[in-house]
Each structure stands twice: as C-alpha cells, then as structure tokens.
Structure 1
Amino acid sequence: MKSLLLTVLLLGLVAVLKAQEGPSDDQEDFSGIWYTKATVCDRNLTGGNIPKRTFPMTVTALEGGDLQVWITYWVPGACEVIFVHLERTSEPRKYTALNGKSTVYIQKIPVKGHYVFFCVGRRHRKPYCKAKLVGRDPEENPEAMEEFKKFVKSKGFREEYIIVPEQRDQCVLDDE
C-alpha cells in the first residue's frame, strides 16, 4: 500500500513538473504570416536601388518539422515570389536551405511574437550572412528593435547596416 501511494505521488509530481516546463522547442509553431520589421546583412545594402519595402512572408510547418517559406519581394517593375524549403536538423530551431548551402537559425528573443531569422551560407561562391527581425503583426515594436540591435552587435554586424523597410500588405506593380 505504501509503495502504491509513493508511486501515485511520484507520478503526480512528474506531471506537475512537466506542466510547468511549457512547450519544448520542438513544439514551437512558426506557421502563419510573419512581418519583417528590420533586416541586416554583412554588406552595406542601405544605399543604391535596394528596395526598402517588405511584404508579409508565409511560413508553413510540414510533417517531420520542415518549414516552407513563401517570400514576396519587389524589384523595379515586378513582384517576385520565391519559395524556400527549410529542412529541420537535429538542433532545435536550426534548418538547412538551398541544398545545404545555407543554414537558417530561428533565434528566440525576449519579446513575445518576435524572432530573428539568421542565415549564413554561400551565394555566388561568396560567404554571406543576413538576419531579419520578424513579428506576428506589422506594428513597430521598439523593445523588439532593441533586442534585434543587441543580436546584430553579438553577431558582428554593423548597426548602421540595419534597414527598417516600409510594410506593405501586398506587392502591387503600380507602387513603383
């Protein structure tokens, strides 16, 4: 009888502790619409003809933990849509893309509903590094921006390379 009581108490304690842990990294759901609040690259893209407007991106969680990302961007005279398949790795919030040429980390920050998508890889045989502050809503969030600036500094980016794009609901060709 004592052993049965001890077992029930132990199982109850384990259940309470598990409930307090919250969701694990594997249970995070990145599906849905994300808005780019700021972006930074290891090269200076703040000048020239680089479009400084952004559109919502759509992320879909796939079975097995992979992600599909649909990104719309504007180039003079055209709306371009690209699809990126992020393959899950054994590390939480770490994915590979472009046949292993890029690694994408989804970095949690202390501001609810905001993450940093951090990408390192090679493009045209040259190394590159880029980060995007993304949020669930299009509104500016000064606290999230401060956290992004801390992230930017920690990764060696130059703060003056940060671009805060204009939010647009959709890409319309008349908006040139």
Structure 2
Amino acid sequence: MKVLFLTITLGLITALQAQDPLFFPSENENIIGTWYVKAVVADKDLPKEKRPKKVFPLTVTALDGGDLEAMVTFMKGGQCHEKRVVMHQTEEPGRYSAHGGKRHVYILDLPVKDHHIFYCEGQLGGKAIRMAKLVGINPDMSLEALEEFKKFTERKGLPQDNIIMPVQTGQGAPGPHSSPRATPPGPSVLQDMEGAPAS
C-alpha cells in the first residue's frame, strides 16, 4: 500500500512539473514596484499602427485582500494619460481576474532574477485574445530572460513572429526593489495590461 501511495504521489509531482517546470506563480511581495516592459506578444496580429513602439514602465501596488493594482501610462492625443487596472486575487496562486472576470492575468516568476511574465487570457472587442508581457526591474534587455519568455510563449502557442520589443521611455516611480533609474521621458504608445491598444 505504501509503495502504491508513493508511486501515485511521485507520478503526480512529475506530471505537475512537466506542465511548466520553469515558471512558477509569483508571490505578491515579489511583484510590487515599478517594472519595465521588455517584450510583448499576442495571439492576434495587431496592425502596425496599433503595435506599441515605445512604452512607459508600469507600477504594481498591493491592495487589501491580496488584490493588486497596475498603473500604466500612455500617450493619447499628445498628452500623458494614466490607466489603473485592479486585479482581484483568485484561489489559484498567481492568477488574478480583471474587468469583472472577463480577463484573467497570470503573473509568473522566471528562472532569471528580477523578471516576470504577465500572461493574460480574455475578451477584447468580443473576441478571445491571449497576450504575454516580459517585465524586469530595469530597462536593459536580458537575453536570458528573453529566451525564457520565448520558450514560455511557444508553449502557450503564441506566434513567435508577433513578439515586439518596444523602446523604453518615461520615468516610473521607484518601487521597493528598484532605483530611480529610468530612460529619458518621451512620447509613447502603450497597450494596457490585458492587451487593449491605447486609443
């Protein structure tokens, strides 16, 4: 009986590790602060004019009950605008719901230090969309993190040809894990957390 229990337990652990052995749900305290968007990919091919060419950092803050708020800045009509997205914690670690449950955001740790993936599934304009963003605590691109991001997005079936690496711009407020370092301010176009182009 003990052998059967041990076999089943080891089999279950192996199956769970095989699902996504490199990516684990982030703990809230690991994601609080200012993050630079280094790469973006969606399963829908966005028109060139809607693709983010430049992006501001995004800031994540903790709310009561384990919920998070993401604040993004984007340019519209030549002026800076801020958008706040509240992500409600679910029972599944690392999974949040937004926009009344219409979108689900997964925040995953990468094996590369100080990098995470924001992965979103939901509806946009009545159509299903999936999107992933690679974020890090500084604006410099980590080739190792980019490689892990590509592995993750390939496993999720996101088209590798759609990966965009926007230019960092603007200055985010320093979070608990980041310094005030930022790239020079300038205009930008940014997609919100769930992939809707800023318009």
Report if TM-score (shorter chain) is over 0.5.
yes
Preserved contact between residue 30 and residue 61 of structure 1 (Cα < 8 Å): no
Is the Cα contact below 8 Å between 2:31 and 2:60 reproduced in 1? Answer: yes
TM-score of the superposed pair, with normalisation by structure 2: 0.70
Which sections of structure 2, spanning at least 5 residues, go unmatched?
1-24, 172-184, 190-199
Corresponding residue of 1:3: none
Q: Equivalents in 2 of 1:32, 1:114: separation in Å?
A: 12
Give the TM-score, by structure 1 length. Answer: 0.79
Counterpart CA distance in 2 for 1:134 and 1:40 is 12
1:25–1:31 CA distance, 2 compared to 1 (3 A): closer
* Separation in 2, partners of 1:29, 1:88: 15
* Cα shift at 1:172: 4.0
Map of 2:66 onto structure 1 = 65
SS at match of 2:152: helix
Unaligned stretches of 5+ residues in structure 1: 1-23
- Give how far 1:149 is off: 0.4
Match for residue 7 of structure 1?
A: none
State the alpha-carbon separation in 2 of the partners of residues 128 and 25 from structure 1: 22
Instruction: State the Cα deviation string for residues 51-74 of structure 1 (Å, max 9, x = none).
Output: 310111110011211001101123
Deviation, structure 1 residue 48: 3.1
Q: Aligned partner of 2:109: which letter?
A: K
Q: Is the CA contact 2:121–2:130 (under 8 Å) kept in the aligned structure 1?
A: yes
Task: Work out whether residues 72 and 82 of structure 2, in 8 Å CA contact, stay in contact via their aligned partners in 1.
Answer: yes
Q: 1:27 to 1:55 in 2, by over 3 A?
A: closer
Cα distance in 1, alignment partners of residues 167 and 27 from structure 2 = 32
Q: Quote the sequence identity (%).
A: 43
Contact 1:101 1:121 in 2 (8 A): yes
Taking the TM superposition and a 5 Å limit, the aligned residue runs for 1:1-176 are 26=27, 28-45=29-46, 47-75=48-76, 77-170=78-171, 172=186
- Say if 1:116 and 1:25 are closer, same or farther in 2 by CA, change over 3 A: closer
Taking a change above 3 Å as real, the CA distance of residues 72 and 27 of structure 1, as seen in their structure-2 partners, is closer
Structure 1 Cα separation of the partners of residues 29 and 46 of structure 2:
32
Cα RMSD of the aligned pairs, angstroms, is: 2.1
The answer to whether the 8 Å contact 1:46/1:163 transfers is no
Q: Please give the alpha-carbon distance, in whole angstroms, between the structure 2 residues aligned to 1:43 and 1:27.
A: 29
Residues matched between the structures, number: 152
Shift of 1:30: 1.4
Q: Separation in 1 of the partners of 2:28 and 2:44?
A: 34
Partner of 1:11: none
| Mapped contact 1:69–1:84 kept (Cα < 8 A) | yes
Q: Give the Å deviation of 1:145.
A: 0.2
Question: Residue 46 of structure 1: CA displacement?
Answer: 6.5
Deviation at 1:104, TM superposition (A): 0.2
On the 8 A contact 1:51/1:75 being kept in 2, the answer is no
